[in-house]
Amino acid sequence: MKVEIRRSKRRKKTVSAKLYGDVMHVFAPHNIPEKELKKVIKNFKKRFARQNIKKKLNEEQNLNEVFNKLNKIYFDGKIKIKSIEYVTNQQKRCGSCNYRKKTIRISHSLAHMPEWVRDYVIIHEMAHILEPNHSKAFWNIVYRYNLAERARGFLIAKGMEDNQESDIE
Ligand SMILES: [Zn+2]
């Protein structure tokens, strides 16, 4: 990623950045200390890199198709959601479900795990649309998927499966 810096006298405090293709344009106040600017640019680079990963991943693997397939098999096609996508800002959580907004987010790290593990996480989050908790009723739904127990073991070994309710928003 190339960086082009434009300093402006009119700009007072904040630094902003935009990505044009592979070139990052940085707009900075003219009197910002070099060291501070470097730090800000580093953070922008990270953020843009994460956004790129997210965009590419969602283009490569369309989770809506996976969702539709799982919905048919395990939920009689009854789950309705607004969106499902990979995100790059969930390091510890495999996925999350906002059952009010009906959105599901899946950690990008799942994209590099076996499909049956990824499917488990999607089914888990889908089940939260019906049961926004980890009750017995919830697990009864999840265990319609016969690889659920194995997938949980797989994720525990990776330090990514927990029994907190941190995936429900
Ligand atoms: Zn959960």
pLDDT digits (tens, 9 = 90+) for 84-109: 999 998 877 899 999 999 999 999 99
Q: Does residue 140 surpass a pLDDT of 70?
A: yes
Centroid of ligand 1 to alpha carbon of 123 (angstroms)? 10
Q: Does residue 22 surpass a pLDDT of 90?
A: no
Centroid of ligand 1 to alpha carbon of 59 (angstroms)? 26
The Cα 81–Cα 71 span in angstroms is 11
Centroid of ligand 1 to alpha carbon of 167 (angstroms)? 5
pTM of the model: 0.82
The Cα 106–Cα 99 span in angstroms is 14
Centroid of ligand 1 to alpha carbon of 125 (angstroms)? 6
Say how many Å lie between the first and final Cα of the chain, rounded.
Answer: 35
- 96 φ, ψ (degrees, to nearest 5): -150, 155
CA-based nearest residue to 14, from 38, 43, 37? 37
